[in-house]
């Protein structure tokens, strides 16, 4: 199982959820837990969100931090309108 927080995996996840979400869909639940700990199963919800968007999105905002706990927190806002947020 992953350390309490796995910043390398989290950074990879935050980048590729925007650009190549198929990589995420290929991961098993076991692999999510191995890489991100027991809270990693929540990442399936990120896949559901991403699946509701168009293939091409524009990242409007993203942030990642580790609060005073044993898990990290990430947020991402995507725009899937034609032309992005212009």
Distance CA 67, CA 6 (A): 14
The pLDDT score that the predictor gives to residue 66 is 87
Confidence band, pLDDT 50/70/90 cuts, at residue 1: low
Confidence band, pLDDT 50/70/90 cuts, at residue 85: low
Q: What is the DSSP string of 29-66?
A: HHHHHHHH-GGGGGHHHHHHHHHTS-SS-EEEEEEEE-
* pLDDT one-digit tens code per residue, 20-67: 999 999 999 999 989 988 888 889 999 999 999 999 999 999 999 888
The pLDDT score that the predictor gives to residue 84 is 61
**Encoded tokens for 28:** 């098993």
pLDDT at 68 over 90: no
């Amino acid at each position: 199982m992953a350390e309490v927080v796995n910043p390398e995996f989290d950074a990879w996840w935050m980048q590729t959820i925007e650009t190549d979400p198929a990589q995420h869909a290929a991961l098993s639940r076991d692999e999510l837990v191995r890489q991100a700990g027991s809270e990693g199963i929540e990442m399936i919800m990120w896949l559901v969100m991403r699946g509701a968007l168009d293939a091409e999105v524009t990242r409007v905002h993203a942030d990642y931090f580790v609060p005073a706990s044993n898990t990290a927190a990430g947020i991402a806002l995507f725009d899937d309108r034609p032309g992005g947020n212009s």
